[in-house]
Amino acid sequence: MRSDLRAEPAEQMDRGLTGSPRLVLLMLVILAPGCVLLAPGSVPAQAADSALAEWFPRLRVGMWVKVEGGRNPEGVLEATKIKIHDGELDEVEIESHVAEVDLVHTTLVTTLGVRVVANPSTKLKGPKQQRQVSFAFLEAGDRIDVEGQLQKDGSLLAEELDIEKSKRLRPDLELENKHELAARIESIDADKRRVVLLGIPVQLSERTRNKNPLD
C-alpha cells in the first residue's frame, strides 16, 4: 500500500518557495534554543552592538566628529549617524531650529540650546527666494545652518549663517527634532557610551550608524 506520507525524492524537493514540499520542510525546521530567524539583509542587534564596541573605544577627546539625530526630553542628542573626521576642521557647524532671537544684541539660541552670536562680518543668507537678508529677518522657528568659531563662553561666533527654511515665509513651518553638529569631542563617558559636543551630551548606541568606521 502506497503511503501519502512518504518522503519526496531529493530531486523533487528542489522546488521554489511556492512548491509545497520545500515550504513544508522549511516550516518544520526546529530551531535550537536562542536561535532567531532573520529577514534577508537584516543585522542582529548583537552584531550592531559588537560593531559599536569596536569603534567606540577608539574615540578620543579632541577628535572632530559630525553627528545627526534627535534630542530626547532629557536633553540628550540620540545620534543616528556619526562621522569621524581625519585631522582638523576649520569651523564648528550646527544645523537646527531657532528657539529665540535677540535683535538688540544680534544673538540667537538654537533648539539645542547653543547661543549663536552674529557680528558685521557674519555672512547671512536667506532662503532661495530671498537670499539677501539682515539679522532682523530671523524668527523663532527658522531652520538654520551655522558655521563659526567656538568662543570661551561656549557661544558660537557665526561666520556664515544660512536660513534654510523661514518661518516668516512659511508660517506653517513646524519644528523638526532633527539636528546636526560638527565639533570636537569635549569629553567621553565610556560607561554610558556618550560623548559631549558643544556642551551637549550625545548618546551613541547600536542604532548609531558609523559612516566611516575607524580602522
CATH no., domain 50-210? 2.40.50.320
Return the C-alpha cell found at 75: 536633553
> Average of pLDDT values for 87-116?
95
Question: Which pLDDT score is estimated for 31?
Answer: 45
Per-chain mean pLDDT for the chain = 82
Above pLDDT 70, what percent of the chain?
A: 75
Q: Which amino acid is at 205?
A: S
Three-class SS state of 97: strand
Using pLDDT thresholds of 50, 70 and 90, give the confidence band for residue 172: very high
C-alpha–C-alpha distance, residues 162 and 125, integer Å: 5
Tell me which residue of 112, 90, 92, 82 sits closest to 100, measured CA to CA: 112
Question: Which pLDDT score is estimated for 12?
Answer: 45
Is the confidence at residue 164, as pLDDT, over 50?
yes
Three-class SS state of 79: strand
Where would I find the H helices in 14-80? 20-27, 45-55
Using pLDDT thresholds of 50, 70 and 90, give the confidence band for residue 90: confident
Evaluate if pTM is beyond 0.85: no
Domain ranges of the chain: 50-210
> Average of pLDDT values for 8-37?
45
Measured in whole angstroms, the distance separating CA 188 from the mean position of its chain's CA atoms is 18
pLDDT tens digits for 178-206?
Answer: 999 999 999 999 999 999 999 999 999 99
Question: Which pLDDT score is estimated for 200?
Answer: 96
Question: Which pLDDT score is estimated for 213?
Answer: 56
